[in-house]
Amino acid sequence: MTPPAVHANCVIVGTAGLLIRGGAGSGKSSLADYLVEAARAKGNLGQLVADDYTHIAAVDGRLQAHAPQAIEGRMEVRGFGVVEAPFAPGAQIHLAIELTSAETIERMPEQPLGHVVLDGVQLPVIVCPQNDPAHSLRLIRWALRTLFPKGPDYI
């Protein structure tokens, strides 16, 4: 049985799997591309898992993700088209990213990381501004530093 597909991108940066959720045109693909390139620029693994739709499934209490077979290794570059991209066959998700309008994001949240439950698995989540990959990268970097304080900076 094929696990459910969610409207999300998925990337791996270093050893961290990131699930990027947001509406159509919110910048999921741009942020995914930006994160992959940022990881690679630091000499770390940066790889696409899925673009636009991602299969997710709980496995032993962890959320696993992979691309639907029809779109494996493909990424939409708005204004350029669908391109072939190196991809990983799957990832364990460590952080969910919710893209939303910048106006709705608290400037100084008491708790910058929230939680979301996907397929019965609770994950940390960070809210990031849509269509602003540089600002989102900064927020994601701090989220990863908070979650893995002794880990390396992958992005």
Does 153 reside within a domain? no
d(C-alpha 44, C-alpha 13), whole Å: 7
Question: Residue 70: which CATH number?
Answer: 3.40.50.300
User: pLDDT, tens digit, for every residue of 123-152?
Assistant: 999 999 999 999 999 999 999 999 999 999
pTM greater than 0.75 (yes/no) = yes
Domain that holds residue 118: 5-147
User: pLDDT, tens digit, for every residue of 64-98?
Assistant: 999 999 999 999 888 899 999 999 999 999 999 99
Does 78 reside within a domain? yes
Does 121 reside within a domain? yes
Give the largest Cα separation in the chain, rounded. 43
Supply the pLDDT for residue 78: 85
Supply the pLDDT for residue 1: 63
CB count within 10 Å of CB 129 equals 20
State the average pLDDT over residues 113-120. Answer: 96
Residue whose pair of structure tokens reads 């094929």 in the numeric block: 2
Does 55 reside within a domain? yes
Does 155 reside within a domain? no
Q: How confident is the model at residue 5 (pLDDT cuts 50, 70, 90)?
A: confident
- Compute the mean pLDDT over every residue in the chain, rounded to the nearest whole number: 95
State the average pLDDT over residues 112-133. Answer: 97
Does 152 reside within a domain? no
Number of domains into which the chain is organized:
1
- The distance from CA 37 to its chain's CA centroid, rounded to whole angstroms, is 13
